[in-house]
Structure formats: C-alpha cells, structure tokens
Amino acid sequence: MECFNENFAEPLSPMAQNFSSSALRVYILGVSEFDVPIDDLQIVSLLRDLFLPANPRFSSMIVARDKDGGKRWSKVEVKLEEHIFIPKFPEGLSLDSYDKYFGKYLSRIAMQESPPNKPSWEVHIIKDRTSNASGGSIVFRVHHSIADGFSIMGLLPSSLRRADNPSLPLTFPSRQRSKTELGNKRSSMRLLGFYNFM
C-alpha cells in the first residue's frame, strides 16, 4: 500500500513510530486459559463484535511515509479468517509434552514478523490441554504499535460476557480469599511480553 491520502490516514504517535521501525519489533502476547472447550464461532463473534470496535488500530495498517517523513495509519477491511490460527499438536501426548509444545509454539509466534499487508494482530486458538488449561488456550498476538500490554490486559476481560446472561459483562466473586487459597489457585489469564530486536 504505497498511496497516501490525508483524508483517510492518521499519523502514528512517536511511540508507535519507534515500535514499527525496522530495527525494533515488539509484540505483546496475551494468553487466556480455559477449563471448558473453546467454541470457534464464539471467538469469531467476539472478535467481530467486541474486539475490532474496541480500538480502531485493530482494523488499521501502517502505510508508507508521508511527505513529512512520518508513517500513518490507514483504515482497512479486516478479513477475520486471515487473523485466526488453529494449530494442531500431536494426539495422545502426556500433559508435560503438551506444555512443552505450547511453550515452543509461543516462542515461535513471538519471533515471527507480521505480514505487511494486514493489521498486525493475530488470535491463536489452541484446543490442546496444558497443565494450566484443561479446555485449551487462546493467544492474542498484537504488535506493540497497536496496543500495549496494559490495554490488552483491560481489553481481554472486558470483552468476555457472563455465561448465565451474555448481555452482562464478566464479573468475579467478591469474597475475600485467604493467602493459602490464593497461593493454590492459578490465574485464568496471564499476560506475556516477548521482544524481538532486529
């Protein structure tokens, strides 16, 4: 996309300019772990109806430099099927082996460069169980020029809805837990940051 039109392109912030340079590529990986099997159709619906409208950068690409030497955002049509990946690990492995496959998969996608012809985010639906997720995991991979880890941490839980009433946002119990209980519980969501310096 080499054309430039001031009517549809917005300048990148100085921080986004730094993160989109050829010398530095930074991606954020957000991992949501589930105890129930993941429904692909619900994920597509969540992406289309909640994720994309949450931030205009999710449906924007960085276009060629403008006449002043800066890069700009350009709104594009998002084809969700180009952003969703469902890897298949070998069947019948031990839980420890699935943990290793999952770790290697995270390392591999963290180091990959996003294609320049689409917005720089992806969703990886991993249906294989791990020690932390008996129902599977969803990995959100987002280029740091689009969002930072703090905003992704806020976006993921706010995109979820209650199972008993999908019109309501996700809520958590307010009961105080003892330190012993907290120590024995694993979080259902964790945020990982991987940095790739080129």
Q: Mind listing the pLDDT tens digit of every residue in the chain (198 residues)?
A: 344 444 446 766 656 665 666 656 778 888 888 888 888 888 898 889 888 888 888 898 877 666 666 777 888 999 999 999 999 999 999 999 999 999 999 999 988 888 888 998 999 999 999 998 889 999 989 887 776 555 665 666 666 666 677 777 766 666 555 555 444 444 344 444 444 443
* 21 is a domain residue: no
- Is residue 128 within 8 Å of 135, Cβ to Cβ? no
* 54 is a domain residue: yes
Q: Which is nearest to 122 in space by CA: 92, 83, 161, 153?
A: 83
* 118 is a domain residue: yes
**pTM score, whole prediction:** 0.74
* 102 is a domain residue: yes
Domain with 40, as residue range(s), is 26-169+184-197
How many domains does the chain fold into?
1
Report the CATH number that the domain containing residue 132 is assigned in CATH. 3.30.559.10
* 73 is a domain residue: yes
